Structure 1
């Protein structure tokens, strides 16, 4: 079946299966731009609209229940609406506190203490999103060094902020474009790109431009890049080269912070960044992000120095947000010896089941999301369908070259939803409340989805 015909058939099935969601989108098409306010929450023909979520499951307007691995943009380590956090927020509201007052509150200091304790950093400033975190971190580094160049990895996503909006999405196999209009004409020249896990290219960049590089932004596990993990050798060389050339290292751990341990992943690589950007899990389902690191570097945004305008927004350090953060971090610290090993075991078992399922279905897959320092398995499972079997891709460029020409993330998401599984990047993230029944339903759903794609002739499709 031609791909377009399959997608048209899919759209007709979505209309029949999700009529209330379809009606919702039609009713609000004029007022709600693009049907939603975050692009990655959408896939064609449209996305079911959630009515409630609890634990590992989401229920839509038509009453369909999905096993969910998107889990709030990989935020919900404890699952959707965990009682631990929900009850703490409800108590605060009942006590007449929690909504924005514009006043100081004790939770802000407690959250800072916990972040510093868990990450081994010196100071922290809280904000509301990862995009703001990486933006402020870049400003701090440029101000501190007096340099103007920001180095990032091709395929790396550091939010919708000027210093990250180059080389994010592939165009063919190339990652070289500015991602948006409206930026200053100088911006393209201020962002340098390098290939992930390629030490030789990294060394060439620093040899040629090292005296002008203010900082390097790097994720130990790439989010937009599909779960590709940095090798320990690469991370060590990133740290060595930045230090040698007087540049600063910013580790973007918005996805990985508190995902593998009660703290950052960078420590497991045995390196210390100058700044660490945290988010997602940190907020416990609330809009909380943080920039943590060296005190002398963060001091540029203090009242005393006032050199970098990192002063927060109206909702930074929101009391309910930081109540969720404090409640979650105290729980993770307390339960760390058992919680994270259990997550890793569950991830490892599901990973092997999916690998076997895909092999039986004749689908070549790569299952990413496990950085070497955490062992052989983790709670991140990023599934990619490849043209043919082989080793896991080591960079986004390699992924773009080897990716299946038809079975991309959006199509997998749309197909698997029809079989009761909600995914992102092929699968996504396991929470502490995903159980054997969830995994059984997941495997049934993936098997049915792959069978649907094979019967349509799309598994063997060529570009």
Structure 2
């Protein structure tokens, strides 16, 4: 019998010590209601909560665990590193080895700088773009999330190129005004903006495969348009591949779609599940960063030796077993096809969108190309689907606006059981 009694007590206590009882908002289950299970451990494709419930995990810490939870080789590398000390604040050989591995997968990252989170990565890449170009304005797309730095928590103004306005209290209006927001996948809007204001724009930052309004691929020609207009107007093209990096393909979305940015931001998988991220790109741009150049960026824990050990182990395994990417993509494709077939059989409108090993099940009858499309989905149907699955041991992202993921540890038996429960959930929605 499914129960979350211990988790309910834990959540109540956590709310007295932390805002909303969590350290990242989506964990609170506000968008789906109910009580989040408090996780006690994880292994392979499974996570376990303090109430003794076991789940097949399709969140995978929001993407990093492509080789499964508690991978023995990664754990061994961490355990080997810890006795040598957990932080030095000084250079190590590991940093250079990780940089070499990253460049092997992402040749466009001619030089890199290690940081501790995706937010740090995107924030630093934008500062570099502004410093390099001498311009202030940046362009982002509605529905793309690039971390919680001030200039990126901005919503659209009332017109195509109107000033942005803060999307969160605490973000200065002056900062938001330099961020222009456009609809994702709208090449015409991009061209019009650059025709009018191209000479004042420092950079475009984009999730080349959107993952924070659900999995939304770029439409044909969209990424090519971004590359074309930034090149023409001397702006910097930044791919935020924190989520889709190593998920779209072994070389991320830039390899999958053959569009090469000036700067790339990576996180999640690159740290093997530990806090680590990286940004990098053209040598001439990266040389503008201190101490080589005037653009300042620093971090006491950047290049942390334990995180470097986990990242190096992960990247080494992915390099050693390149079929891992094919395996996890084929499993994801099979699951997505099964979900669509089950929904169609029951008669529930569903679109499952996938790129590589990331996917989202949208409760709608048409493809999702942007945030407006995602917002038009049936949120009540999603809530029913989510809780039906959770109570039967299937752990999906607790929001219609998030992506799900698979690992090399997800078995055929995992997929079969997932599809069985999905069909039952669709029947419950149908009524």
> Does TM-score exceed 0.5, indicating one fold?
yes
CA contact (8 A) 2:265 2:280 kept: yes
The CA deviation string for residues 71-95 of structure 1, in whole angstroms up to 9 with x for no partner, is: 01111101111112011111223xx
Q: Residue 113 of structure 1 aligns to a residue in which SS?
A: helix
RMSD of aligned residue pairs (Cα, Å): 1.8
The CA deviation string for residues 353-378 of structure 1, in whole angstroms up to 9 with x for no partner, is: 111111122211111132xxxxxxx3
CA 1:184–1:178 in structure 2 vs 1: closer, same or farther (change >3 Å)? closer
CA 1:320–1:188 in structure 2 vs 1: closer, same or farther (change >3 Å)? same
The CA deviation string for residues 262-289 of structure 1, in whole angstroms up to 9 with x for no partner, is: 3332133222211100001111111110
Q: Which residue of 2 aligns with 1:436?
A: 412
Indicate yes or no: 2:155 matched with 1:167: yes
Mapped partners of 1:282, 1:73: distance in 2: 13
The CA deviation string for residues 317-351 of structure 1, in whole angstroms up to 9 with x for no partner, is: 11110111111111111211x22122221111111
1:119 aligns with one of 92, 95, 106:
106
Indicate yes or no: 2:321 matched with 1:318: no
Q: Which residue of 1 aligns with 2:17?
A: 31
Indicate yes or no: 2:71 matched with 1:82: yes
Q: Which residue of 2 aligns with 1:329?
A: 315
Q: Which residue of 2 aligns with 1:41?
A: 27
Indicate yes or no: 2:223 matched with 1:235: yes
Q: Residue 301 of structure 1 aligns to a residue in which SS?
A: coil
Mapped partners of 1:433, 1:203: distance in 2: 43
CA contact (8 A) 1:67 1:441 kept: no
Indicate yes or no: 2:59 matched with 1:70: yes
Mapped partners of 1:25, 1:201: distance in 2: 44
1:105 aligns with one of 76, 92, 112:
92
CA contact (8 A) 1:419 1:449 kept: no
Q: CA deviation at 1:396?
A: 1.5
Q: CA deviation at 1:414?
A: 3.2
Mapped partners of 2:35, 2:286: distance in 1: 43
Mapped partners of 2:21, 2:386: distance in 1: 17
The CA deviation string for residues 377-412 of structure 1, in whole angstroms up to 9 with x for no partner, is: x321211111xx23x1221222223x115234x554
Q: CA deviation at 1:261?
A: 3.1
Tell me which moved more, 295-304 or 81-90.
295-304
CA contact (8 A) 1:216 1:248 kept: yes
CA contact (8 A) 1:419 1:446 kept: no
Structure 1: unaligned runs, 5 residues or longer: 1-12, 169-175, 371-377, 456-463
CA contact (8 A) 1:156 1:222 kept: yes
2:424 aligns with one of 448, 451, 460:
448
2:373 aligns with one of 363, 382, 398:
398
The CA deviation string for residues 121-142 of structure 1, in whole angstroms up to 9 with x for no partner, is: 2100000001111000110111
2:138 aligns with one of 126, 145, 150:
150
1:365 aligns with one of 346, 350, 354:
350
Q: CA deviation at 1:232?
A: 4.2
Mapped partners of 1:62, 1:355: distance in 2: 32
Number of aligned residue pairs: give it: 417
Q: CA deviation at 1:42?
A: 2.1
Mapped partners of 2:73, 2:244: distance in 1: 22
Mapped partners of 1:304, 1:395: distance in 2: 39
Q: CA deviation at 1:186?
A: 1.0
CA 1:27–1:302 in structure 2 vs 1: closer, same or farther (change >3 Å)? closer
Mapped partners of 1:383, 1:280: distance in 2: 22
Q: Residue 249 of structure 1 aligns to a residue in which SS?
A: strand
Indicate yes or no: 2:8 matched with 1:22: yes
Q: Which residue of 2 aligns with 1:55?
A: 44
Indicate yes or no: 2:237 matched with 1:263: no
Q: Which residue of 1 aligns with 2:159?
A: none
Mapped partners of 2:292, 2:231: distance in 1: 27
CA contact (8 A) 1:232 1:269 kept: no
The CA deviation string for residues 203-240 of structure 1, in whole angstroms up to 9 with x for no partner, is: 11111111111000011110112111113411111000
Structure 2: unaligned runs, 5 residues or longer: 157-163
Q: CA deviation at 1:159?
A: 0.5
1:351 aligns with one of 336, 341, 360:
336
CA contact (8 A) 2:15 2:22 kept: no
